[in-house]
Chains A and B, each alone.
Chain A
Amino acid sequence: MSEDERDTRAIGDAIREATADVTAPPGLRERLARPTSAPRRRRRRGGAALAGVAVLAIAAVLIVAGTAETPDRPDGRLAEAVALALSPARHPAPGVDPADPIHLTVRVGPVGFPSRVHRWQPTGMRTATVAGRGARMVTYRGPAGNAGYAIVDAPALAVPGDGRRATVGRLELTLLRRDDTSIVTWRRKGRTCVLASRTVGTDDLAAFAAGLPYAGAS
């Protein structure tokens, strides 16, 4: 054993000890267990069938392995959704749903993303998990900057009690500020919707949420 190895072995042990409790979130296990998690590929009968069997097999393994429940921290869970809304898009923006032109083709359960709200245009999208729930995020470019629109699948996430409440149309919105970030969140059909931006104010995000014209306020 070299001098270097003797010196740093304890560091390796400390790294291992510090990270040993980090486990894959339940939402990731669910995504891996879904047969649709495999990417679309060229048709090759044998390979496709084998991949399907493989995905089902790993689904069984993951279900048997069980899932570790994340700590129940309502503010933390909403913070995860906000982090998703602020993260960069991973894919191009989805197209407009021809059967429902006011929405994009991407949905979370029955809740869809708006295809265009006045001067807001979709620019990209991303899929993730938030607190073990499936979630999608679409980025929009608007008159005052960019915003991320995340929808988190049911059950709905708890909302911090220190936000400003506003009723716009049928929507019960909660408006929050966290450091330099504007956040608007509401529930729709059991899902949690979150709009977040570092450049757009909460009032304009609220107008976006309600489908109202950009106010230029806030």
Chain B
Amino acid sequence: MAVATATLAQMPQARPRRLDPQRLGDHVDRLFRAALALCGDRHDAEDLVQETYARVLSRPRFLHRDDDLGYLLRVLRNMFNDRLRSERRRPLLVDLEAAPDVGSRATDPRQPERGWEAHAVLAAVAALPVDQRDAVVAVDVVGLSYAEAARSLRVKEATLTTRLHRGRRRVVATIEGTGDQEGERP
């Protein structure tokens, strides 16, 4: 046991590192995109990012890895889930712009249409089942690696990968008008 303890103590990543508030400003855009993909409403997204920063900055934070963005995304997601629980309803969807005029033709998922509109993509992501949505937000919207996203969401990489692929396919189906999901409307 003593050997094991000594080994752990020697591991450099075991030493916590204090989150540097000065580096948080680098992540505002990506967190805002994530919030939009979660909320589907720009005002809610702004509130969510602001509340996330306020919570993170309310006391010193110590991380074991150089993974500020993954940590911020986890806080953002937790706050969003808290808000959902308190409101006991799904968020309003597709409040970004008028719905785009998309065609209904099927698309080969290996060759998706380029030039998708951001609001259509974010609305489609917001309408995904929760697990798939979180995976797509972490990897494709925020830009985390699979390993970082898995840590942020506290799931295994294999689980994340499965959810990610299912979510991506469903995003295509929604944008192309072949999906079976409709977001709630006000």
On A, residues with C-beta under 8 Å from B are 2, 4-8, 10-12, 14-19, 21-25, 27-29, 31-32, 37-39, 41, 47, 50-51, 53-55, 57-58, 60-62, 64-65, 83-84, 86-88, 90, 126-129
Contacts and interface: CB of A to CB of B under 8 A. Distances in A.
Interface of B: 21-26, 28-29, 31-33, 36-37, 41-44, 46-47, 49-51, 53-55, 57-60, 92, 95, 109-118, 120-122, 125, 136, 139-141, 143, 161-162, 164-165, 168-169, 171-172, 186
B46 A31 contact: yes
A18 B116 contact: yes
B21 A58 contact: yes
B49 A14 contact: no
Given A55-B57, A58-B24, A62-B25, A19 B161 contact: no
A40 to B, nearest CB: 10
A87 B172 contact: no
A25 B24 contact: no
25 contacts: A5-B165, A7-B109, A7-B165, A7-B169, A8-B169, A12-B168, A14-B112, A15-B125, A15-B168, A16-B141, A18-B118, A18-B121, A19-B121, A22-B29, A22-B33, A27-B46, A32-B53, A37-B50, A39-B51, A39-B58, A47-B60, A51-B57, A53-B21, A58-B21, A61-B24
B43 A14 contact: no
Nearest to A12: B140
A175 B27 CA distance: 41
A6 B110 contact: yes
Name the 3 nearest CB pairs between A and B, nearest first. Answer: A61-B25, A54-B21, A24-B32
Nearest to A3: B165
Contact of A12 (B42, B92, B164): B164
Given A14-B113, A57-B21, A127 B29 contact: no
A129 B46 contact: yes
Given A4-B165, A14-B114, A47 B53 contact: no
A65 to B, nearest CB: 5
A51 B53 contact: no
Contacts of A53: 21
Contact of A32 (B28, B95, B111, B136): B28
A23 B33 CA distance: 7
Contacts of B115: 18
Contacts of A32: 25, 28, 49-50, 53
Contacts of B164: 8, 12
Nearest to A32: B53
Contacts of A84: 43
Given A5-B165, A128-B46, A128-B47, A11 B112 contact: yes
B57 A10 contact: no
A53 to B, nearest CB: 8
Contacts of B29: 22-24
Contacts of A5: 161, 165
Contacts of A7: 109-110, 165, 169
With most chain B CB atoms within 10 A of its CB, the pick from A18, A23, A58, A87 is A18
